[in-house]
Amino acid sequence: MLLGFPTRVLALMGLVTTAGCLAPQAQLCGSVLCAPQLVCAPTGGCVLPLQLESCNGKANSDPCVFAAVNGVCVDGVCLEHFCGDGVVQPPEQCEGTNLDGKDCQAAGFYRGTLACHPDTCRFDTSGCADFCGDQVLNGAELCDGPPPPELSCLTFGYDSGYLDCNPTLCTPVMTSCRFLGWQPTTTATDETAVWGSADDDVFAVGANGTISHFDGTRWSAMASPTAVPLTAVWGRARDDVYAVGQDTILHYDGAAWTVVPAGVTGELFGIWGAPGVVYVVGGNGIWRGSGSTFALETTPGSVPFFSIWGSSPSDIYVGGSGGLLLHFDGTSWSSSAVGLGNIVSIWGTGPDDLFVANRSDRFEVWHRDRNGWTPPLLSLTEKQGKLWGIASDAVFLVTADQGWFFDGNTWTALPFPAGASMTGIWSNRLTNLHVVGRNQRFRSTGGLTTHLPLFFNAVSFAPTAIWGTASDNLYVVAGSGIRIHFDGTNWISAPFLTTADLAAVWGADANTVFAVGQGGRIAQLAAGVWTLQGGSVTEDLAAVWGTSASNVFAVGANGTILH
């Protein structure tokens, strides 16, 4: 019998010799009687003549083909691939000592010797050791499972937040790290407006038809089909974005910006739309279109229009000169008056929550709720400004050199770098705010002030307790082991120790602090270093207090009292 020849092939090719049963023209190959159409293999057994011809002059393990079957030469015979033929063919990973150039590192381990299983021709990793995901810090790993020890967001240049660990790379993840304040970027030209669909999809437009795009990491210039100064940008999705300027409407389809031959004339100042419809406002009126063709709307007032915003196709607001505010209810336009100057910016959440910026001899922000318009919430000497919001209690205003934040009750000035001149703003949450202006753009990802409520909203976690010795020495604890210290200027996140939620914090003095929480966890700060203490109980701890560093009590579930 041919060594290594698949049994199912032999069963079709050979007949066992029995006395008196030899067929005419059959031949005996060793102990096997071969059918007339078969020949003897060099090492015995029956094969097709094509199997010998395909390997004529070839060495063992050379590829071959017979009867449209890809095979390998074994002792001068072309055989269909099988585990053990010495050739690595999918789905095989290896053959004998042929590991196809792979080692333990290629298999995801850090050390050891890789082998090949003889029956399956798959990698045998039993001789390999240490890998990302084994919950042990080894190799070049900075973390494995828990966040990296002895590292924090501050290590990587951030101001606050906490690190995570990438489960497949075992490297720090800094998505929860934050900068406090603004990060400026210098631009070659002035920018007038900004809009985005997501964190990694933000567009800015400005002078000379310039268009820039932010991908979540960096800004880059986009090819623009116009040199006309662009005044506004808005979109429905990352592949459906519009920008406008003098006599110009541009559209971006996700691949390139093109000019929309809409026939719109005059200076254009604003754009907004909904599924199937786009509105453009400017010096010559309000234009409505499907995105490719536009027509001038008939409205109650014939004045220049400077701003537009809507909550739906049947709730659209347009601001014009002389305090004229138009509303479209899905059927017709109606008018009202708000202030005396030009309505240069509008934002809201709906008909009962509308903010309007009016520019005359002063810059005023009006608000309308279900009870009607209130007197100006903000009155400034500025001559320009833009509104944007993410909720009725999170509204932003930027003017030439000042930023403002409305928390639902009060407008608060935001600190901006000296010399900033701002013209546009966009945000989708408090930790992602983009501002553009004259030769500069700014981004904030970690809160705009050091006031506690705004800071904690910005980093998206809820504090559970606070303790301190003075206004420049405060400690705050929260879920997931978060511990933050305020030094009077910055909030600084402590290095990771535990994922347990922390419920209480108390200190004996400015440099000795105790935090307690879930699962009996106790974290202690001494001489500037946080360490985990206790471990004698697993009940959740709810409070901590003492008279000195050596006389501290913690209490918790099931009547637990620790000293």
pLDDT of 450 strictly over 60: no
- Whether the pLDDT of residue 308 is over 80: the answer is yes
pLDDT of residue 419: 67
DSSP class of residue 81 equals -
Higher per-residue confidence, 430 vs 54: 54
What is the band of 201 on the pLDDT scale with cuts at 50, 70, 90? Answer: very high
Dist. CA 30–CA 41, nearest whole Å: 10
Contact present, 556 and 544 (Cβ < 8 Å)? no
Q: Per the structure block, which two tokens stand in for 407?
A: 């928390």
Percent over 90 (pLDDT), the chain: 48
**pLDDT tens-digit readout, 383-420:** 788 999 999 888 999 988 788 888 888 888 876 666 67
Q: What is the pLDDT of residue 530?
A: 84
DSSP letter (8 states) at residue 98: B
Dihedrals φ, ψ of 215, to 5°?
A: -100, 15
Q: Specify whether the CB–CB gap between 94 and 122 falls below 8 A.
A: yes
Flag whether pLDDT at 41 surpasses 70: yes
- The sign of the CA dihedral 124, 126, 128, 130 is positive
Cβ atoms within 10 Å, residue 444: 23
Range with the lowest mean pLDDT among 202-216, 232-246, 471-485? 471-485
3-state class of 414 per DSSP?
A: strand
- Phi-psi sector, 130: left (phi>0), alpha (psi -120 to 50), beta: left
- Range 42-55 average pLDDT: 89
Write the pLDDT tens digit of every residue in 75-130: 899 988 888 878 888 788 998 999 989 999 999 899 999 999 999 999 999 999 99
Q: How much is the pLDDT for 180?
A: 65
Q: Which residue has the higher pLDDT, 7 or 112?
A: 112
Does the pLDDT at position 53 exceed 80?
yes
Which pLDDT score, from 0 to 100, does residue 14 have?
A: 43
The confidence score (pLDDT) of residue 164 equals: 86
Q: How many other β-carbons are positioned within 10 Å of the β-carbon of residue 101?
A: 7
Confidence of residue 11 (pLDDT cuts 50, 70, 90): very low
The share of the chain scoring above pLDDT 70, in percent, equals 89
The answer, yes or no, to whether residue 451 has pLDDT greater than 90, is: no
Average of per-residue pLDDT across 237-254: 96
Q: Are 253 and 240 in contact (CB under 8 A)?
A: yes
One DSSP character per residue, 459-492 reads TT--EEEEEEEETTEEEEEEGGG-EEEE-SS-EE
Task: Tell whether the model's pLDDT for residue 550 goes beyond 80.
Answer: yes
Q: Quickly state the pLDDT bin for 13 (edges 50, 70, 90).
A: very low
Chain segment 459-515, per-residue pLDDT in tens: 445 678 899 888 788 898 887 777 888 877 667 777 656 767 899 999 999 889 999
- Residue 457: what pLDDT? 34
Q: What is the mean pLDDT of residues 295-315?
A: 93
Res 528: pLDDT = 78
Mean residue pLDDT of the chain comes to: 85
What does the pLDDT read at residue 449?
42
Contact 215, 207 (CB under 8 A): no
Q: Which of 8-12, 133-137, 295-299, 305-309 has the lowest mean pLDDT?
A: 8-12
User: Which stretch of 20-24, 431-435, 528-532 has the lowest confidence by average pLDDT?
Assistant: 20-24
Burial class (CB in 10 A: 0-12, 13-18, 19+), 15: middle
Strand ranges across the sheet with 191-198 = 191-198, 201-206, 211-214, 219-222
Across 338-348, average pLDDT: 90
Q: How confident is the model at residue 446 (pLDDT cuts 50, 70, 90)?
A: low
